[in-house]
Amino acid sequence: MEIADYENRFYKAERFMRIHIESAHGSVFNYLIGMDKKLTGLTDHQKSLLRLFYQGKNDSDIQQELGIGSASTIRHHRFALKEKERQAKTFLAMMELLKEKDEYAPAFLPVHKTARMVDDRYNITKEEQEKIIKKYFPEGTNHSLVKFPPREKQRLVVLREIVKRLEVECIYTEKELNEILKSAAACVDFKQAAFVLPILYSFTNPPRSLLMPNSK
């Protein structure tokens, strides 16, 4: 069981994650609704409606704020979203039952929660992950990367492994972070490969680590 120290109080990891999200985003709802469309399946218009529903506004207020249709139009949107909820629950139930029967389905790696844009780069099976790790960390993940992968899908797998070297709930200065990156991937000039750092930071999220790339 992971325990996190926050403002002189100790929390279980799950509870601390919720506290962090509420502190950084205002609420878990705001955090979830801010996720990429490919994760939520929601259009920008649906997100706007849900935000206003969450704020407790009535249909007339929402109609005036958005400047669309009438109050009955907002009620129609409420119904459509409830229908989407019912469909999602049904689909989730079917997928859970499918796991018991579909023995040939590959095991995909979960998308990290801080991913901003989910696309085919994340279409990675555990078997593919093992092959990539074996190719680029032939001596094991505790040793240095032999070369930086040319493909983004491979880079994501490699960066996942590098992030694991960061201590839980540790705040790193830029110098400290660069030293860790150099030991993990001496073959890569991370200053030249500036595109790598945003990807690397995107994998980190408390209780994993907090990074301070601009600190001295």
Residue 216 has pLDDT above 60, yes or no: no
Asked if 45 and 27 count as a contact pair (C-beta separation under 8 A), the reply is no
Of 144 and 111, the one with more pLDDT:
144
Mean pLDDT along residues 104-130: 73
Of 134 and 119, the one with more pLDDT:
134
**Residue that is written with structure tokens 């994993």 in the block:** 208
Longest dimension (CA), the chain: 65
Distances (CA, A) of 135 to 20, 123, 148, 158: 37, 18, 11, 10
Could you tell me which residues are beta bridge partners of residue 108? 125
The tokens describing 202, both together, are 């995107």
Nearest to 156 by CA among 147, 148, 144, 168: 148
pLDDT at 117: 64
Q: Are strands 3-6 and 171-172 parallel, antiparallel or unpaired?
A: unpaired
Q: Where are the alpha helices (DSSP H) in the chain?
A: 13-25, 28-33, 37-40, 44-54, 59-66, 71-101, 126-136, 152-163, 174-184, 196-202
Whole-number Å distance between alpha carbons of 9 and 62? 40
Of 184 and 110, the one with more pLDDT:
184
Whole-number Å distance between alpha carbons of 108 and 100? 16
If one counts every other C-beta atom within 10 angstroms of the C-beta of residue 176, the result is 15
pLDDT at 214: 39
Whole-number Å distance between alpha carbons of 164 and 200? 11
Residue 206 has pLDDT above 50, yes or no: no
pLDDT per position as a tens digit, 20-43: 556 665 677 888 888 888 788 899
Least confident among 11-20, 30-39, 74-83, 133-142: 11-20
Residue 58 has pLDDT above 90, yes or no: yes
